Amino acid sequence: MFDTVLVANRGEIAVRVIRTLRRLGIRSVAVHSDADADARHVREADTAVRIGPAAAVHSYLSADRLLEAAHRSGAQAVHPGYGFLAENAAFAQRCTEAGLVFIGPPAEAIELMGDKIRAKETVSAADVPVVPGSSGTGLTDTELAAAARQTGLPVLLKPSAGGGGKGMRLVRDEAALPDEIAAARREAKGAFGDDGLLVERWVDRPRHIEIQVLADGHGNVLHLGERECSLQRRHQKIIEEAPSPLLDAATREAMGQAAVNAARSCGYRGAGTVEFIVPGDGSGSYYFMEMNTRLQVEHPVTELITGLDLVEWQVRVAAGEPLPFGQQEIALDGHAVEARICAETARRTPGAEDGHVDFLPSAGRVLLLEEPQGEGVRTDSGLTEGTEVGTTYDPMLSKVIAWGPDRAAALRGLRAALARTTVLGVDTNTAFLRALLGHPEVASGELDTGLVDRVAAELLPESVPDEVYGAAALLRQAALTPETRTAQTPTGPPQPAAAAPATGGWVSPFSVPSGWRLGGQRAWTVHSLRVPGRDPVAVRVRPTAPDGRRPEELPAPGEMEVSVDGATPVRARLAPGTETGGPTVRLDWDGMSRTLSRVRCEDGDTPGVWLGRDGEAWQVRDHDPVADALRRAGGAHGADALTAPMPGTVTVVKAAVGDEVAAGQSLLVVEAMKMEHVITAPHAGRVAELEVTAGSTVAMDQVLAVVDPAAGDAPETGAEAATEATG
């Protein structure tokens, strides 16, 4: 067994590998870029080595720097995790040549299965069914287009190197083939350093089911059952479960044997996954898609139903140990479901009639973090409070996994665990995942890879709950004049609180936001607030008056009337002691009591507060309507402007100042977290301004270009660019 293992990765997978190494008594070595110097995986490892600047190509993707770190730290083996160089045959070979054990399959197996064309040919020869499509490597654009027509549209364009859904394009219209091939090549080149593509027949309403395999160096190969991975968007999995609600015992055994045959055909060793596409026609057929020659993101669901630690067996197999159990000893117990927490925000595409939803990368600093653990619940995470989440790396932050004796119990457990998950400071998809788990088709197991796209719009809330705005306004009111916070009385003017500092000066009752006036009704204090991506809201607040009520009906101390956006006022108050401090605030709202997580916004130009509840989070900022009106009056930043939908990097500029463009024409491509977003013209017209070039780094809402409308072509309302998310 090894004494020291270097983990050539970052984030939650590095933390997860380190956890098993610690249990096995193996010294762990973390590596980090400058951006990750204080990351959780660095803190938890026994030793950490700096390997370069933030850009992955100079750090986590640099084989030279990783091998140097292994040499300096005395590591005998390297665990690649997933992503980065985990499926890089050249890196595996260089580890071997440097006298290090690569904790993964042989370089030859990685190379073979990493080329999807050769992989299909190899497994087909081993009697594994494959998806119809192109054959041969190094196809030109013309040959790819011809293969697509011969296969029959719709088709799927896929990078022949790499996986994870990156660079994949579904093409239904033959006229779109040239642009889609070019875009797929560009993404494949950026993600894998290889722009080779293949064509596969698109299977309508397919299910994505994968088989976990485990092989040692002594000829033993077995499977650990399947995982259902059909809940995905942009070809990226977001919820996975084991076992699949679709398969019966006979189909499971047949697919398991096919996966074992595929692993044997390439001389596999270690933990790997064979992915199949299953048509939704009920025919019982299945086709090989690819083999992932590494640990999968969703491996915890297999661990929870088999009781095996896959990282442990990766290490033991790499150390030369044989598997001490056979296929007949693998039993599946209960059900497990995993949800991937990603740094992203979901919003309806402006002007879209089909309910399309954009999932845009987000960034920020984690200000408050609560992650569930306990019986039946596991969280694999790379987060800590203070973590800076940028757009340099993959957006996945953590995974929440729940086990239950059956599928219904596991789904309930995961929804409850997501309700206890709080990440404030960065937008995440936690609330969306929780809503998705409650969808009737998910609950019934009627899944396919297009389900998320079809139901995404209905899972997004129409508005921010009134009590969120109310809580933010009450917190703002309490914080306006902390040095003169008052002890409210029902009938008289506010009195200085006993806890107020003794300054010796007189406090004018008119300077306190209590609503007290010399005569007449108490005045409203108006708070203008805004949640990013939504219109500003005016919240009116004033203390509740007794209005001739009996003593037992008098308002509680601190009770207010609150009206959100002109709605009928409700009685509300913050529980004493929660107005200004602590990670939670207790809100009494219209006769109901709620607890919200909260933390003050520390970044940006305007103050505000993050509030969270049941997996949802809202960034509520102060809004200055006068400044906003002046900004909009500037003209250039109105409906004619194209703004960045998220922080990222401009990778392609397709227009120049003076160009005449059509409505919907692609003008720019912005990339963030390995995903491309096409920025299109909001209307026909002329490019009047172009503020960026290829390679420019942009912030969210930064103006990229301005398109003056053509005569008679009225611009659409709103200042946000039309975007088409791809990836």
Quick one: average pLDDT of 421-444? 97
380-410 pLDDT, tens digit per residue, is 999 999 999 988 898 999 999 999 999 999 9
Q: How far apart are CA 15 and CA 528, in angstroms?
A: 42
Residue 424: beta bridge partners? 368
Quick one: average pLDDT of 294-303? 98
Per-residue pLDDT tens digits for 83-113:
999 999 999 999 999 999 999 999 999 999 9
Strand 608-613 with 685-690, pairing: unpaired
| Pair of tokens at residue 525 | 């204090």
pLDDT above 50: residue 487: no
Which pLDDT value is given to residue 686? 92
Question: CB–CB of 361/395 below 8 Å?
Answer: yes
Is residue 547 within 8 Å of 555, Cβ to Cβ?
A: no
Q: According to the model, what pLDDT value does residue 717 have?
A: 39
SS (H, E, C) 92-144: HHHHHHCCCEECCCCHHHHHHHHCHHHHHHHHHHCCCCECCECCCCCCCHHHH
Q: What is the mean pLDDT of the chain?
A: 87
Domains of the chain, first to last: 4-103 (3.40.50.20), 111-129+203-333 (3.30.470.20), 465-482+525-547+557-623 (3.30.700.30), 634-726 (2.40.50.100)
User: If you write DSSP's letter for every residue of 540-596 in order, what string do you get?
Assistant: EEEEPP-TT--GGGSPPTT-EEEEETTPPPEEEEEPTT-SSSSSEEEEEETTEEEEE
Using CB atoms within 10 Å of the CB of residue 711, give its burial: 0 to 12 exposed, 13 to 18 middle, 19+ buried.
Answer: exposed
- How far is the C-alpha of 623 from the C-alpha of 530, rounded, in Å? 6
Cβ within 8 Å of residue 54, ≥6 positions away:
33, 34, 35, 390, 392
Taking the alpha carbons of 709, 645, 231, 312 in that order, is the dihedral positive or negative?
Answer: positive
How many residues belong to the chain? 727
pTM for the whole structure = 0.82
Strand 4-7 vs strand 77-79: parallel, antiparallel, or unpaired?
parallel
Distances (CA, A) of 375 to 321, 372, 402: 32, 10, 9
Residue 645: name the closest of 612, 668, 614, 616 by CA.
Answer: 668
Amino acid, res. 351: G
Label residue 671 by pLDDT band (50, 70, 90).
confident
> How many angstroms separate the Cα of 635 from the Cα of each of 11, 155, 284, 532, 702?
43, 44, 59, 21, 15
Place of tokens 């997580």: 597
Residues contacting 405, CB < 8 A, separation 6+:
334, 335
Give pLDDT, residue 663.
87
> Model confidence at 635, in pLDDT bands (50, 70, 90)?
very low
pLDDT tens digits, 38-61: 999 999 999 999 999 999 999 999
Residue 289, number of CB atoms within 10 A of its CB: 24
Q: CB neighbours (10 Å) of residue 697?
A: 12
